[in-house]
Copies of this chain bind each other. A is one copy, B any other.
C-alpha cells in the first residue's frame, strides 16, 4: 500500500486522517493472467490500483478484439467511462499477467469525495491526466501513420513489445495483425 500513498502524495499532501479513511477502503485482490475483470455490458464498480500486472482494455470481436488501451503496475485502472456514468461498459478489461490489485468501489469513492479534503482534488487531477492522455492519443490517431505509432511504442515502451502479443498491439495501433507484420518487415 506504500506504493499507493506515494502515488497520492505526488498529487497532493495527504493528511494522516485522510489516508486512514482512504486506505481502510482498499481491498486486496489477486488473480491469474487472462482473468476477465469486467465483462462488456456490466457496470464497472471498481477503481483498482495495480500493484502487479499488465491489463488490456478491449472491445471483444468475433475475429480480432479491438484492443484500445493498456494499464500497468503503479497506476489506477478501471473501465472508467462506465465507472463514472454507472452505465453498462462498452468494453471489457482483462489481465495479461498474474495480478495483485487494491480495489475501491464506486460507493467507497463517493464517501471519499464527501469526507476528505483531498478526494475532489485527486479526482480532478486524475481525470485531467486521463484527458491529457486521450488527447495525445487522438492527435496520434489522426496525425501519424500506423508505422509511426509502432515506432513510438518501440521507443516509449520497449518492454511492451516483448511482453504483449503483437495482435493486441496491432489493434492498439489501428491496423490488422497482418498489416503490422508487414510494417515490421518493412522496418527491419
Which residues on A are within 8 Å of B, measured CB to CB?
59, 66, 68, 80-81, 84-85, 90-91, 113, 120-121, 123-124, 127-128, 130-132, 134-139, 141-143, 171, 174
Set of chain B residues within 8 Å of A80, measured between Cβ atoms: 131, 135
**Shortest Cβ distance from A111 into chain B, in angstroms?**
15
Contacts A121-B120, A134-B135 known; A84 to B128 CB distance under 8 Å?
A: yes
A132: nearest chain-B partner, CB-CB: B81
Set of chain B residues within 8 Å of A139, measured between Cβ atoms: 59, 66, 68, 90-91
Could you say how many copies of this chain the assembly holds?
A: 2
Dominant SS among interface residues on chain A: helix
The one of B81, B121, B128, B142 that contacts A135, using a Cβ cutoff of 8 Å = B81
Set of chain B residues within 8 Å of A136, measured between Cβ atoms: 81
9 sampled A-B residue pairs with Cβ under 8 A: A66-B143, A68-B139, A80-B131, A81-B132, A81-B135, A120-B120, A120-B123, A127-B131, A141-B142
**Shortest Cβ distance from A69 into chain B, in angstroms?**
8
Contacts A132-B84, A134-B138 known; A59 to B127 CB distance under 8 Å?
A: no
CA distance A143 to B90 in the complex (A): 12
5 smallest A-B Cβ distances: which pairs? A134-B134, A127-B127, A120-B120, A124-B124, A123-B124
CA distance A107 to B80 in the complex (A): 29
CA distance A121 to B127 in the complex (A): 11
A137: nearest chain-B partner, CB-CB: B138
**Shortest Cβ distance from A142 into chain B, in angstroms?**
5
The one of B59, B131, B143 that contacts A59, using a Cβ cutoff of 8 Å = B143
**Shortest Cβ distance from A19 into chain B, in angstroms?**
18
